[in-house]
Amino acid sequence: MSLEDYPKDENSTFCGHSINDELKPLLLVFCTSGSVCSFFCALAILVMIFFAVQFLDLWFKFWEGNHSTKCVIQSYLAEYSLWVMLLSTLMVTLHLTVMVLFPSFYLSIGKLEPFYILFPWAFPILIAWIPFIHHDYGISGSWCWIRLYNNDCSLNKEGMIEMYALWYGELFVTLILNNVALVIISITLCKRAYQKTMSLDYRKALKQTLPLLIYPITYQFFSWFAIANRLYQALNNGHY
């Protein structure tokens, strides 16, 4: 039966129900939610533009030699943030790997959640302090990080070593391990799905957890560009 076959009249009623009475609250909800979303989207765009302008102004001040202390602080926070993202992604991959390879532990690995959360935020505090030993934080290209060049534009060898020893080396190894883990997860899941050896509760747990794979996949996709750039730089004696 099509929509035209249902009884209706010119007073906007449908099967004895007033369409207008139902449309008014729906229209009010949609208009209100749409207006709120539009407002916050516009506000977010303005905030992004504001911070972009402030960042450019701050960078020009750094480039002119002012606010060197702020640049050092920003460098430390950048190194700390990079490590937090790396370890958080690694914890997600580790959690998924244990859950897929050892199904009998999928109920008990929830006890490790405090470790998954605290370790990525606590451990980078120690790593990010190392460049302070040789005063290697400062202007690094278009941002503040470990200095690649000295004030006389000569190559800062200590800074270059720290870049690879404190970040790019670990990043490269982590991405390799992440790739291996993703391959193992995919093969194991395909094998168990083919053999139909997964219990109903375990399948439900996988459906809730496997969407987390998007985080390590996205992270490693963008990280390979940075690694390729630094490898090219290392092979060309620090030149871009």
% the chain with pLDDT above 90? 8
Q: Beta 143-146 vs 17-18: how paired, if at all?
A: unpaired
Q: Tell me the helix, strand and coil percentages in the chain, rounded to 5.
A: 75, 5, 20
pLDDT value of residue 51: 76
pLDDT value of residue 33: 80
Q: Which pLDDT tens digits describe the chain residue by residue (240 residues)?
A: 444 554 445 555 555 555 566 667 767 777 888 888 888 888 888 888 887 777 666 666 655 555 577 788 888 988 999 999 999 999 888 888 888 787 777 667 777 788 888 999 999 999 999 989 888 888 776 678 888 877 777 778 888 888 888 888 888 898 899 889 888 888 887 777 666 666 666 677 677 677 778 888 888 888 888 778 777 766 776 555
Q: Which two tokens stand for residue 112?
A: 């490790």
pLDDT value of residue 6: 45
Q: Encode 181-190: b = buried (16+ Cβ within 10 Å), e = exposed.
A: bbeebeeeee
**pLDDT single digits (tens) 165-208:** 888 888 889 889 988 988 888 888 777 766 666 666 667 767 76
pLDDT value of residue 18: 58
* Segments making up each domain of the chain, as ranges: 21-66, 68-235
pLDDT value of residue 15: 55
Three-state DSSP class for residue 189: helix
pLDDT value of residue 92: 87
pLDDT value of residue 199: 64
Q: Which of 223, 82, 57, 72 is nearest to 146 (CA)?
A: 72
pLDDT value of residue 13: 56
CB neighbour list of residue 174: distance below 8 Å, 6 or more residues apart: 86, 89, 90
Token pair 């998924």 in the structure block, residue: 96
Is the alpha carbon torsion for 179, 180, 185, 187 positive or negative?
A: positive
